[in-house]
Structure 1
Amino acid sequence: MTHDSGAEAKLNDSANTAILVNVDFGKRDQASLDELCQLAASDQLSVVAIVEGKRKTPDPATFVGKGKLEEIRQVLAQTHAEMVIFNHELSPIQQRNLATWLACRVIDRTSLILDIFAQRARSHEGKLQVELAQLEYLSTRLVRGWTHLERQKGGIGLRGPGETQLETDRRLLAKRVKLLKEKLVAVKRQREVQRRSRKRSEVMTVSIVGYTNAGKSTLFNRLVRADAYAADQLFATLDTTTRKLFIPGHGSIVISDTVGFIHALPHTLVAAFRATLEETRQADLLLHVVDASSSDRDQHIDEVNKLLREIGAGMIPQILILNKIDRIESKSTANYMRDEYGRIKTIRLSAKTGEGLDYLYTALAEAFKQNQTGPQAHLASPIQADDDARTTFFNKRKD
């Protein structure tokens, strides 16, 4: 099935146009396709058509069947799109075969996310991490008959005796990957020194986490009156920003704004961003920010908690922040909820307007006091699936 995306792209201007391909394997995950459209927009791509299909399993050679492949080729001819983006992870062989059959650039979801990260990285550390993720992904794409480095750079010119271009590419990639890992080890050591210094000073550390575009950076800016980049787009923030926040009557804490999470975040990115994610893993408290106006908020909460567990941060105390309440109509009059021990576990607020922010300051003050007088577990409970909070606070979105 093919349908127009509604994008206003001129057919004779294919410089930044793309066709999206989504195959339903029985999960009916419309949210994933919607997210791919947002990812494409974040990469400044205009989606001119979406091709959808159903299969039980992917075709090992071309991911889709011959009929669907022909349909994609016809849509390409009609739209003159520059590339085809699959909402799935393609094997190197599938990607090569598809590019050959369709005679255009073919990328998968992972490649698109990596490209966005490459554009958004600003700090030296962020650029190192993104390059490492890109090269490790690229190393799996170097298959016989299709060497990316040769295509992209026109040949290296550093080939050893009897060495094929493919072998040269692999050797150079391995060398660069090793160098990047060594540099990131140095970055990690520097961060560890800074964390040990904070621990010796008994400074409480708070990390803001959440799904991409949940409003983490907006909340961070509101709290510390900073100017960290915030925008209504996926992965607006890649680099961790850390500031001191003074809690009146108590003292200062260190708060960090971190990279957003997303469904099926590429493993190469998770591995490459270990140094950045370590800030989250070592935090005393997590502020888990959720876009309360999103219809996919429950899935987003689960995805974030899943990744937190993967990086070893699943048991760190967290407070659920239901952000963007200025966008929803809520029947609830409660602005926060406490657990059975009297600790604030959920807060409704708008980082944009400042509504409900006082309750967050109260929660941070209480957490600061508890952190000074007791073990970490006394701060709050990890929120894995707080059905009471979701039922109480989540209502319909404003038009």
Structure 2
Amino acid sequence: MAGAYVHIPFCSHICYYCDFNKVFIEGQPVDDYVAMLIREMKLVMASHPDETIQTVYVGGGTPTALTPAQLERLITGIRAALHFDHGEFTFEANPNDLLTKDKLQVLHDNGVNRLSIGVQSFNDEILKRIGRTHRAKDVYQAIANARAVGFDNLSIDLIFRLPQQSREDFLSSLHKALALDLPHYSTYSLILERKTIFYNLMRSGRLQLPSQDVEADMYQDAIDLMEAAGRHQYEISNFAKLGYQCQHNLLYWQNEHYFGFGAGAFGYIGRDRYHNFGPIKQYLAPLHAHKVPVIEHHLVPLEEQIEEEMFLGLRTRAGVSQQRFASRYHMTIQDVYGDLLQRLADQQLIEVAGDAVRLTNQGQFLGNEVFQQFLIDGQLI
């Protein structure tokens, strides 16, 4: 069984922090893209006829930048090409695409059962500062419309460590988010990625960000408030009521297989990690010739598989299962990392509890530093 990620690279505006593969939608061949995206799914799945798709996640870009008719064609095509008739089916959305119910109705009527809405902040000044075009009032309208149409599995994203953001401001956004009583929330610290407006501003000394201490306080506030509200942390950045964890993202964190469809998408099937062409024209050209649009294949060696098992599993609060590790790799975690586990445990960054190896609360704040220590120097076999 596997998941499927479907990439829609079109946006009606470009946010200052975003480095995902995206283009401004005006003048783009959107209808052709949807048609070729469905063709890609059919071509790929013809080579994997026995693979069952467990979850589908449509991200971007902004999937809800499509028209209702385009959305319907896309969803119908996904269901037919992937033989996907049940399971978690997520669409990313922007609040200002949901101010009327037409797109929501198409999504719901065609079996989409989970929405992930990019809110980022409830402070209108900060939203302007980061290049978002929606305002806080739009979030409330979008959530009300989604509920009216029949959606109950809703998630929103918040970002902290934003330019000129105070701890009090982020606390305010957290409280307003939780007052919506949604089953799932994601909170991410701002990362300055290359080729973004914010990265260029940082390089020129014109980006004022909160200090690392304030950032840590913001993250702790999120953990504490979410837990108090019954939204339990199940991954470094994600919180949910029991039964509402994102099943698609859990596939990633459990190092399971997934197909990637669309411009710039990545997939991981068997030991094959592959990458599609990113530019729209280069993505479409092979599909017009009925060929898959893959630019690169990488056969993942054992050492890299094990490293990723640790990096990804340690992101979750459940941690890495020693039993599962042994059954997958025919060796124990102790065989590979025995001395390191002891050293990190002595530093109170990880804990070994029964079957699980997981980050401590302190380890969560130093996750990237901890993960780097699981890189394997040399070959295991």
Q: Bigger relative contact order, structure 1 or 2, given CA contacts below 8 A and separation 6+?
A: 2
TM-score norm. by structure 2 comes to 0.29
Which is greater in Rg?
1
TM-score norm. by structure 1 comes to 0.28
